[in-house]
Amino acid sequence: MMTTTPPRSFTILVACGTAIATSTHVALKIKELLGERGLDVQTVQCRVQDLPGMALNADLIVATAQVPFDVNIPVVDGIPFLTGIGTKEVVDQIEQILRQSPPTP
Amino acid sequence: MDSTPLNLLDLLIPEAIALNFTAASAEAVIRHLAAALLRQGYVRETFAEAALEREARLPTGLRLSGEIHAAIPHTDIEHVLRPAVGLATLPEPVIFRNMIDPTDVVPVRLVFLLALEQPKSQVEMLQQVATILQNPQVVSDLVTAQTLEEVRRILAQVMPAQS
């Protein structure tokens, strides 16, 4: 028998410079590609500069711009969702982080 | 309100397509395309400066899988009147900084200048731009295209089928 843990939903912050361009595309791809792996993912788009205040309520950050400060959750490079270079690897990385992340309180 | 998603072919403004454009810098490319979008009434006068300021702070150069690299300069929605896209192809590269690592200088020969409004209406266009960037053959074809018709034909390959 597989585990009976109820399905858990994850929140991913998708950050770019303006919160309208690259993050829009990346958010869609993340939901699609992690959905294919059986992970229920909610995405919230924001600007990199807004991350410090938002990171408390999320499991992971995917950024298409440099994050020039420390945050308390993992940050993953979102550029592969734009260029196609290393997309599988980055989805693997996100999946691994989420499956290992402690339940949010 | 018309909620039909706008695709890239709809949003590309012929007057803001500069093929074989010779430019000394990324700034010159952005200014040239932004001026065309301003003349055609798609952006405010503040757009060019805002795009340049944003590019300096949050660069948009992207290293692609082929030999040709790209940039997608854009800025905040308040500088935009109607969504539009400008395109420049460059025989000689100009330098953009890398989006994820601003210390990395990227030689760029393909520039999409994005004038964006609300994200939902432009999702399709953004996905098409990503599809292009992920296909080295399409990137190479675009950069060598000589006419607007050729550009349209190349882009039609990556557009979703019209029903």
Q: Output the domain CATH number for residue A85.
A: 3.40.50.2300
Residue type, position B110, single letter: L
pLDDT higher than 70, residue B62 = yes
Distance from the Cα of residue B111 to its chain's centroid: 5
Domain B8-158 is found in CATH 3.40.930.10: yes
Report the pLDDT value the prediction gives residue B122, as an integer from 0 to 100: 79
CB A24 within 8 A of CB B119: yes
The string of DSSP codes covering B44-110 is -TTHHHHHHHHHHHS--EE--SSS-EEE--B--GGGBSS-EEEEEEEEEEEEEEBSS-TTSEEEEEE
Annotated active-site residue in A13, A15, A16, A26:
A16
Q: Flag whether A93 is in a domain.
A: yes
Alpha-carbon distance B82 to B139, whole Å? Answer: 26
Count of domains for chain A: 1
Report the pLDDT value the prediction gives residue B1, as an integer from 0 to 100: 44
Q: What is the pTM of this model?
A: 0.91
Which of A38-52, A91-105, B58-72, B127-141 has the least mean pLDDT?
A91-105
Q: Which chain B residues are Cβ-neighbours of A63 within 8 angstroms?
A: 100
Say what the ipTM of the complex is. 0.87
Percent of chain A with pLDDT over 90: 73
If you count residue pairs, one on A and one on B, with CB atoms under 8 Å apart, how many are there?
76
Q: Tokens at residue A1, please?
A: 């028998």
Q: Which domain holds residue A84?
A: 12-100
Report the pLDDT value the prediction gives residue B163, as an integer from 0 to 100: 38
CB A56 within 8 A of CB A46: no
Which of A17-21, A49-53, A61-65, A94-98 has the least mean pLDDT?
A17-21
Residue among A21, A24, A82 whose CB faces B133 most closely:
A82
Residue among A17, A22, A45 whose CB faces B54 most closely:
A17
Q: Count of alpha carbons within 13 Å of A40, Cβ hemisphere only?
A: 4
Residue A4 pLDDT class (50, 70, 90 cuts): low
Q: How much is the average pLDDT of B125-145?
A: 94
Report the pLDDT value the prediction gives residue B110, as an integer from 0 to 100: 98
For B139, nearest residue in chain A (alpha carbons):
A83
Does the beta-carbon distance from A65 to B99 stay under 8 Å? yes
Does the beta-carbon distance from B62 to A82 stay under 8 Å? yes
Report the pLDDT value the prediction gives residue A48, as an integer from 0 to 100: 93
Q: Which chain B residues are Cβ-neighbours of A16 within 8 angstroms?
A: 58
- Residues 6 or more apart in contact with residue A102 via CB below 8 angstroms: none
For A23, nearest residue in chain B (alpha carbons):
B119
